[in-house]
Structure 1
């Protein structure tokens, strides 16, 4: 008796990937991005310490405390404040470069998985971050589209991690702008103290945003690796 041949597995209705899109592992870039985001968190924690010192000494100045000890504390607080700003800037630039490399690879892979999921051209993966106004929502849309395309076929993927990260990131950005403006225009000890409070809130939001970004990076990287291992790939990707 002839054994019947098994029925072929149904092929998900993927859209054909655009030219130049091929799968590459995002694992190494994902790990590097997560590590650098950890560095961002570390520099933000250092900045929070500097913020506390600034608040403490400006509070004493506002209360009328004088003397050599206060002057020394002012100098120390100012030095740490400046050092924290430099450390944050260096960490942010390094992280941004690696993050964008990771995001580009994630986006290209997501196009291979399902090109129909993307509402924006691939070039916006980088450009969206540098265009005024649209950088308030385009990057989130790109990550969300890649998240959808990388989810297991047939599943309904939510965007909770992406939405949480982006909301906190925007809040930190707005508070940071306010804190920076307040600091530059502060003239009295009371105003400097209030500016330091705002900066502390900004740094705290940056820590939360970086932690949520780690969650998004790790989860999205794992989603793509699992999708490759599951064999849920369109014919062009399988070669």
Structure 2
């Protein structure tokens, strides 16, 4: 069998990637909630309304969700999604032909880690996989632009959050900026997460169905 035409199973990898992405988004929401809890307790403390126990509980919760366990989650998220992306990219080429993909296969992985190119190449790869996988008429791709925009801006905001946390949070204004960044990052991550979950599900379903139809 021509290996370029061989179908790669994607449903299982897509399900695993989806669960990990959900966990990562949930972590972002928890982090934003923890930031808000600390900020509000500090506000109450300045007004003489918060107890020491409330402040300690808020600080403990903040430390727990900022722990390294959430950073460790990034590794399997990216690894499993990369496997799904690679297999989906190969299937898309088999379904639509080499001309359906603007980028060579290697860019399905390298596009995410290559400086400058990572600003648009992953979007092109996902967009081409989506288009080649869709049965019949071309599926609308506007949602992919929203996903990519939310992901890029969310990454930028997230980096700002990390840089702020590295410094001493000495004032209420520092905490206010912190909650603004974490809330914005969480909202953008939810938007990007919901869309990419939809993309993973649809592409996996389309490719599996078209493979089954071709074997009849």
Which whole-Å deviations, capped at 9, do the CAs of 1:96-126 have from their partners, x for residues lacking one? 1110000000001111112111111111111
Is residue 68 of structure 1 aligned with residue 52 of structure 2?
yes
Q: TM-score, normalised by structure 2?
A: 0.85
2:142 aligned with 1:157? no
Distance 1:64 1:77 in 2: 21
CA root-mean-square deviation: 2.4
C-alpha displacement at 1:75, in angstroms?
Answer: 3.4
Q: Distance in 2 between matches of 1:61 and 1:180?
A: 25
Structure 1 alignment gaps of length 5 or more: 1-17, 232-237
User: Which protein has the bigger helix share?
Assistant: 2
Q: From 53, 62, 74, give the equivalent of 1:92.
A: 74
Q: Do the aligned residues in 1 keep the contact of 2:89 with 2:105 (CA within 8 Å)?
A: yes
List structure 1 segments (4+ residues) > 6 angstroms apart after TM superposition. Answer: 64-67
Compute the displacement of 1:67 (Å): 6.5
Any conservation in 2 of the 1:151–1:223 contact (CA below 8 Å)? yes
- Partner residue of 2:205? 222
Q: How far has the Cα of 1:190 moved from its partner?
A: 2.2
Q: Which of 193, 210, 215 matches 2:176?
A: 193
3-state SS of 2:66 partner: helix
| Alignment match of 2:64 (pick from 80, 84, 90) | 80
8 Å contact from structure 1 (residues 55, 197) kept in 2: no
Distance (whole Å) between structure 1 residues aligned to residue 174 and residue 47 of structure 2: 13
Deviation of 1:34 after TM superposition, in Å, equals 1.4
Deviation (angstroms), 1:20: 4.6
Q: Contact 1:44/1:88 (CA < 8 Å) preserved in 2?
A: no
- In structure 1, what is the Cα distance between the partners aligned to 2:170 and 2:144? 40
Q: Counterparts of 1:129-148 in structure 2 under 5 Å?
A: 129-148=112-131
Bigger Rg over Cα:
1
